[in-house]
Each structure stands twice: as C-alpha cells, then as structure tokens.
Amino acid sequence: MKTYPMIIGGETIDTGKTFAVINPASGQAFALAQEADVAQVDAAVAAARHAFAAWSELPDTDRKRLLHRLGDLLELHTRELMELVTLETGKPLHGLDGVGAGMELGGAIAWTRATADLDLEPVVIQDDHLARVEVRHKPLGVVASITPWNWPLMIAIWHVIPALRAGNTVVLKPSEYTPLATARLVELANQILPAGVLNLVTGGGAVGAALAGHAEVNKVVFTGSTRTGKRIMEMAATTLKRLTLELGGNDAGIVLPDADIPKIAAQLFGAAFHNNGQTCACLKRLYVHERHYEELCAELARLAAEMKVGDGMDPATQLGPLQNQAQLDIVRTLSEEARALGGTILAGGKAKPGPGYFFEPTIVAGLTNGTRLVDEEQFGPILPVIRYRDVEEAVRLANDNPNGLGGSVWSSDVSRAEEVARRLQCGSVWINGHGAVQPDAPFGGIKQSGIGVEFGRQGLLEFCSVQTLKILKQ
C-alpha cells in the first residue's frame, strides 16, 4: 500500500507514523498518509517564513510564470490526479452533468491560470501639485490553508494560488479523509517552486488546530463547516490573524409560478445532486409554487430513480458514494426523521446494501421550515421540496436560515426573477441556474456562511495588506 509523503521546505518528510485513507466506494483502505504532529507544523511554518522574503520580492512576472508552469504540470498529470480524486472522494470520473473528477481537474487548471494573470498594480488616488497618493498591496506573510474533503484538489487551488500570486508562502493542511491528490499537487509544485514556498502537513484536527493557532501564521483560509470555522476564528483571535472563511451553506431555490417545469426540472435536479449533494453551493432546499408542486415533485422523483449510482471509477456512474461513514449516517438520520415528521419519500430514502457509503438519491415532499432536513445543511443526496402559495412567503422562507451562501430563482421572466433575487439574503444569486462559479467573479457568504470572498481581484486582495503611500511635493 503506497504511502504519500508530507513536504516541508522542499523535502519529503517521513514522520514514522501514518494513517489510512479509505476508498468510500468500498469502505476499505487503499493508501497511507503521513501523520504530522506539532513539531512538523512548527517546521512547516518556519520553512514558509524562511522562504517568504525571497518569494515576496520576486518580480510579478516571475511569479506569474511559475504559476503558469504549475498549471501546465497539472494538465500533464490530469489522469493520475483524476483517479486519485475519485479513489479518495468517491466522486465519479465524469459524473452527473459532467460534474466529477474531470471537472475538478479542469477547474483547478483554469483557476490556476486565471489567477496567475491577475494584476496588483498600485491605485493612484491623487497626483497633483500638492501630493501623490498611492494605495499599494503587500503580501501578508505565511498563509495557512485548511481544506475540506468534498473538492480537495480544486479548493486547495482556490486557496493556494491567490496566496502565492500575492507573494505569500503557504502551509497547506488537507482533510485527513482526502489528503492524497493534494499531497501529489504539492509534490508536483515543489518541482518548480522554490523550497519552502508551498509546504504540506497531513493529519487530523489537532494538526489543523496547531496551524490555525500558530503565532507565526499571518492568515488562515478555511473551507468547511460553520462550527469548525468558529473554532478557527477563536484560535486566530490570539494574534489577530486575517481570515477568509467559506463555511456552511443551505442554499434555497425558488421556482416562480411562471416557470417552465419540463425545461428546468433536469437542471434543478443537477443543481441539487451533482457531487452527491456534497458541495457548499448545491441547491439544498427547493421552494415551489403550488401551481407546479405536484408536477415538479413527480419529475424530480423520476430523475432520482433513473440515476446510475456506483463506483466512481466506472465511467458510466453518475453519482458515487458519500465520502465517509459519518456523512452517510447524517443523511440516513435526516431521511428517517423526515419520514417520522410526515414527509413523503417520493424516491430513495435509504442506504444501498453492500460495501461502501452509498445512499439512494432521495426526494422528500410535504415538509417546510422548522424541520431538520429543511433547516440544516444535509450535504448529501437528499432534497426537500417545499410548497408555497405566494412569492412573499417563498422569500420569507428562503431567508429564514442562519446561512447565506447562495440562492437561485427560476422563472421564464428574467426581470421578475431579478426582482426576487435581489431580496435573497446570500452572497451569490443565480437566475435559472445554481452554483456556477468562475475565477473572475467574487464568491463568498454572508450571515454564518463565512467571512471574506474568493476569486478574482477581490479574492486576491484578501491575501494582501494595504499600504497608503503619500508623497508631498515641495
């Protein structure tokens, strides 16, 4: 069984202690990863600190060139990385609507190249006979990146590339459930980046806590649950670290009375079920006008029953397993509670027999706000469909949640949909779609879905401090 190394200061590290990585399609271990302790976290931060001076002074053109080389290297190793992603996450190679390991690699490459090309030119706000005033953006120092298990490689890219582009150095800690593709990414990156610029430590929550609370870390960027994000915020407070937190979501979709149901049903299903619902910005609760409720419920149930669920290494698989046993247990419990509270299971509703963490794609009717399946983020292949009578009620129900990551409005009248969309309390809103993000458009949550934004120039500036330079003219 192969063991994947940690990398600190450009060197592979053998800690003498490993942990198993499970293939969720089988429930069996298929590889090992090094397990770090506090000493390795200290060493990684020290390596990043040592590398910072030279990396931050490197000309922009050189940093851009090296990041483009990394994008080329990812493309060269696409198939290898795709297979690692599928083996450790369970997601299909291709998947429902093309959302799978292939899309994860394609997205990682595209984000690397687009972010490499962003500029950080000074902004001149005054230049006259009295003074010249410029706003400059400077790197922060050492950035700690803590990534989740649902999109391990792409989210690592979302964290790491803007940090490096801005001139910071990075210590990356992936989820202990999915460390392998990330470990391979860091191994490839260290073929072209100076030693210590990108370091990897692997292990469980204690490793993440040591990194988040480290006195020599200047910023923490974290994607994951709101509960863990709050703990990271507490640890970061001791040294007033900068934070970017992309946390839990419970995205609502509203289907307006004029919607074309046959046209949008498959799109709605894909928005809710791609990656088995294990995406922060998946559609997680769907509000449907009573005029279309029965029709849309029936069509979503039909689509759920037709899905090919299986091992992600099978090219025909549309939906794979849940990534881990704990997440399977959460989805199973929510399904059982929904049934007990009067919800009608229109399709699915139970785990599949046999090995692996498989759960049937599930559509639940007859619930509303105030039940766990509607109020909490399920992060799995189960969708509550909620009936509403008028648009005011739909907006009120959609906003009645502590999360505020994304939302969507579905209508044949784009102007009417835009009016409703402006009233949704969330960081991103889509009309006649849901969850599509891109490297040049800011993405982030409000309320308890996070702090800060990612992507584009706004996301890049999250990795910088602001320095105002004022030159008085004599």
Model pLDDT for residues 384-442, shown as the tens digit of each residue: 999 999 999 999 999 999 999 999 999 999 999 999 999 999 999 999 999 999 999 99
> Which residues, in sequence order, are CB contacts of 310 under 8 Å at separation 6+?
25, 316, 317, 320, 358
Nearest to 215 by CA among 242, 244, 245, 238: 238
* pLDDT, average across residues 455-473: 97
Contact predicate 181/148, CB 8 Å: no
Q: What pLDDT is stored for residue 59 in this prediction?
A: 95
Q: What pLDDT is stored for residue 122 in this prediction?
A: 94
> In this model, does residue 355 exceed pLDDT 90?
yes
Superfamily name and number for 3-247+449-472: Aldehyde Dehydrogenase; Chain A, domain 1 (3.40.605.10)
Percentage of the chain beyond pLDDT 90 is 100
* pLDDT, average across residues 252-267: 98
Residues 400 and 252: their CA atoms lie apart, in Å, by: 10
Which of the residues are catalytic? Answer: 246, 280
* Local confidence band at 135 (pLDDT 50, 70, 90 cut-offs): very high
* Local confidence band at 296 (pLDDT 50, 70, 90 cut-offs): very high
* Local confidence band at 330 (pLDDT 50, 70, 90 cut-offs): very high
Question: How many other C-beta atoms can be found within 10 angstroms of the C-beta atom of residue 306?
Answer: 11
Does pTM top 0.95 for this prediction?
yes
3-state secondary structure at position 223: strand
Q: What pLDDT is stored for residue 474 in this prediction?
A: 78
pLDDT in tens, 192-209: 999 999 999 999 999 999
Contact predicate 90/25, CB 8 Å: yes
Contact predicate 456/118, CB 8 Å: yes
Domain boundaries, the chain: 3-247+449-472, 251-438
Strand partners, 143: 170, 219
Mean residue pLDDT of the chain comes to 97
* pLDDT, average across residues 2-28: 97
Strand partners, 347: 363
**Fold topology of 251-438:** Aldehyde Dehydrogenase; Chain A, domain 2 (3.40.309)
Residues 365 and 183: their CA atoms lie apart, in Å, by: 42
